[in-house]
Amino acid sequence: MSQSTTQRPGQRPGQRYGRGPGQRSDRKPRQREEAPWIPRTTLGKKVAAGEITSMEEIIQNGLRIQEAGIIKKLLPDLKSEVVGVGIIQKMTANGQSTRFKAIVAAGDFNGWLGIGQGKAKQMRIAIEKATNQSFLNVSPIKLGCGSWECRCDQKHSVPFKVRGKGGSVTIEILPAPKGLGLVAGGKIKRLLELAGLKDAWTSSKGSTTTMNSTSKAILECLRQTFSQG
């Protein structure tokens, strides 16, 4: 019994049907799906059930956040960005050990910012750890207009001068008039943008290329706008 086969135009007899060298595939790369959040703490269960609906309610009651899923639920506009990566090498009894370090910032461009650090043998896992930690470290930031040159009622800068320190790095953020923009270096400017600042003067001392110390100094600065306000 003979079996009939259909040949494609230009296909040689006996040639297999499929994608040849140099031909593009229509298949899209597989994207990693995020696992659904399953609350494990009492606070997480209350947030998932809709009993707590805002971060302000958590802060006012002095509750401790132990799950990143709580932040993702209450701040859906929060975005995370890798602001620093590095390699940690150490000699052990079994030879040289290599690990990766990542620093991630999470902000919603509207008054919330968190920074986290993660270490692992794989860069992807280090970034995931840092991202999770950045969500847990998210803090409220009070925006305003503390510039005597502007004196508007819009939330585009900091309400007063703040100063923060991380390691050997010291950073000051001063109110600026609307339209000036952010007078800051690349990574510092990006962190301020994630927090929601549009106009500000900044000054820094120390090795600002060390993102671990720089990010801590910025976060301490911005936390003061809420605690002192």
For 117-135, how does the pLDDT look when each residue is reduced to its tens digit (9 = 90+)?
999 999 999 999 999 999 9
Assign residue 196 a region (left: φ > 0; alpha: ψ between -120 and 50; beta: otherwise).
left
Query: For the whole model, what pTM was predicted?
Result: 0.80
> Largest Cα–Cα distance of the chain, in whole Å?
94
DSSP state of 183: E
CA distances from 101 to 59, 117, 119, 144, 210 (A): 30, 7, 5, 35, 13
- Specify whether the CB–CB gap between 105 and 113 falls below 8 A: yes
- Specify whether the CB–CB gap between 116 and 126 falls below 8 A: no
Tell me what pLDDT residue 83 has. Answer: 92
At 29, the pLDDT band (50, 70, 90 cuts) reads very low
Q: Residue 87: which residues within 8 A CB-CB, separation 6 or more?
A: 98, 99, 100, 101
Query: Taking Cα atoms as reference points, which of 100, 99, 110, 42 lies closest to residue 77?
Result: 110
Average pLDDT score over the chain: 85
Residue whose entry in the numeric block shows the structure tokens 């390699």: 87
First to last CA, the chain: 88
Mean pLDDT of 85-105: 87
> Torsion angle, CA of 181/186/192/196, rounded to 10 degrees?
60
Q: Which domains does the chain have, with CATH numbers?
A: 39-74 (no CATH), 162-227 (3.30.230.10)
At 41, the pLDDT band (50, 70, 90 cuts) reads very high
Q: Residue 88: beta bridge partners?
A: 99
Rounded Cα distance between 111 and 58, Å, is 16
**pLDDT surpasses 80 at 103:** yes
- Specify whether the CB–CB gap between 108 and 75 falls below 8 A: yes
